[in-house]
A and B are shown apart, each in its own frame.
Chain A
Amino acid sequence: MKKIGKWAAFAAVLFVLQTSLLPLMAYHGVTADLLLLLTVSVAFLRGNKQGAFMGFGTGLMQDLATGTFFGVNTLSRTLLGLLFGQFSDRVFKEQFFLPVLASIAATILNYFILALLMVLLGYRFNLESHVQQMLVPMLLYQLAFAYPVHYLTYRLDKRLEEKK
């Protein structure tokens, strides 16, 4: 239970940074999605079950706290946690390159899952220009923050494992 509390506190800290500090360095309103990076890191370190659980929790927190389209982040993060957790057995935990690179793939997948949901909800947009304006700057932000977030997640996971 304590462990879940620590993970929840870590997710809350990242959420607060993402919504209160990162907008100061946003490009046309686009900033990094730290909770997506956390989901991918947890999925790589802990497997698909805990990755999906973390994705569900962080997505729900974001949907509830920001007032965006309810459930879209919860669904996409759960799917991504599940998907990237499949690779946890094949990657060394000390290896940082793959999880950091995977955050790019996760951001692209997350973008297209959300785009599909928007189309299903009846919103129309020009995919090409939207990708240029939204996805490309977000990928750059994600690349910049992927390593620090994965490093912190790795340290927290290791510390909690040692205590166990």
Chain B
Amino acid sequence: MSRVRRDKKSPKRFWALLFVLVSLFCLILFAARGRFQAPIASQTVSLILSPFQQAVSWVGSELNYVTSNIWEIVTVHEQNKMLRNEVNQLRQQNLQASDFAAENARLRELLGYKQAATQFDLVAARVIGRESATWSSMVVINKGLGDGVNKDMAVVTEKGLVGRVVEAGPNSSKVQLILDPRSSVGTLVQRAESRVTGIVVGDIDNPTMPDMENIPKTADVQEGDLIITSGYGGVFPKGLPVGIVTTLKNDDGGLLKIAVLEPAVDFQKLEDVAVITASREAPPEPLKPPVQTPGTETDPVTGEPKHAEGQGN
């Protein structure tokens, strides 16, 4: 005799349960094809949970801040030496860059070339929720409709593209990262000789490194190439860094190749982001010499350090 308790109503319960499971299965298929959405239920759940997520996330980031500060204090001396060296190198590069910028401005004027610099209206936001990146990669940010954030707006950090807003609630929004397998971003190779286009999609096999697909096998794409957004499709503005090509592999079909990218943004340490609410062309800013930190000054003409200690080790 079985030890499992038998229920008199089990046939009725069995059919009810089967109905629920089949309905859920159908919902999954319809939702994946975009034929089913539950925006009100989704926004209600987000509205209730987001204040708590915000509070816990704040506690977490404060803890993180304290521990990283302690570590920085421990390593500050060594870091200072390295930074002084870096400052000198960057100032040399800056001098060259200023020359190039002036030359570029002269040539643009000569050719009557239209100024293509873009200015963005940004809304700063904090990541307050993130799910385990097993099958999809989504984050929740603490800005929503009330802050001017809307569906299909691009989300960035100072390093590059993060993703796009897929659902905006009253006080929070869901952002689909470029690592998500459902995400697709129109991109191109930044190198002037290449400019090959492709689509960057998330890879379930390797959720930390997205793939650039649809690249012809003979196209000029090399390891180390910087990939930027192409602006095609209208969701992502042109010129946002997406990642760097680390490896190239052949597509299963054999006619195309796939570039595996190291994302420009460190998604493991994603805390603060900005939502691009509007973008427009802007006039160039006049060239100004950067402010120099006392103790590390260099000659603005030659780039040579003024102080002996500024040379570092």
Q: Does B60 contact A21, Cβ atoms closer than 8 Å?
A: yes
State the main secondary structure of chain A at its contact with B. Answer: helix
A16 in the interface (beta carbon within 8 A): yes
- Cα distance, A105 to B63, chains bound together (Å): 33
B42 within 8 A of A: yes
Contact A64 B38 (CB under 8 A): yes
User: Are A28 and B133 CB-contacts (below 8 A) given A67-B174, A79-B21?
Assistant: yes
Q: Which of A38-46, A94-102, A128-136, A146-154 participates in binding chain B?
A: A128-136
Stretch at the interface among B25-33, B114-122, B191-199, B291-299: B25-33
Given contacts A12-B52, A28-B208, A70-B36, contact A89 B138 (CB under 8 A): no
Chain B, residue nearest A56 (CB): B20
Cβ of B132 and Cβ of A31 under 8 Å apart?
yes
Partner of B64, one of A24, A70, A86, A125: A24
Q: Given A20-B129, A26-B268, A29-B267, does the pair A66, B27 have CB atoms closer than 8 Å? A: no
B310 at interface (Cβ–Cβ under 8 A)?
no
Q: Which residues of A19-74 have CB atoms within 8 Å of chain B's CB atoms?
A: 19-24, 26, 28-33, 49, 52, 56, 61-62, 64-72, 74
> Which of the residues A19, A20, A70, A126 comes within 8 Å of B38, measured between beta carbons?
A70
Distance in angstroms from A49 CB to nearest chain B CB is 8
- Bin chain A's interface residue count: 35 or more
Q: Which residues from A are CB-within-8-Å of B20?
A: 56, 78
CB within 8 Å of B: which residues of A?
12-13, 15-24, 26, 28-33, 49, 52, 56, 61-62, 64-72, 74-75, 78-79, 82, 86, 89-90, 111, 114, 117-118, 120-121, 123-126, 129-130, 133-134, 138
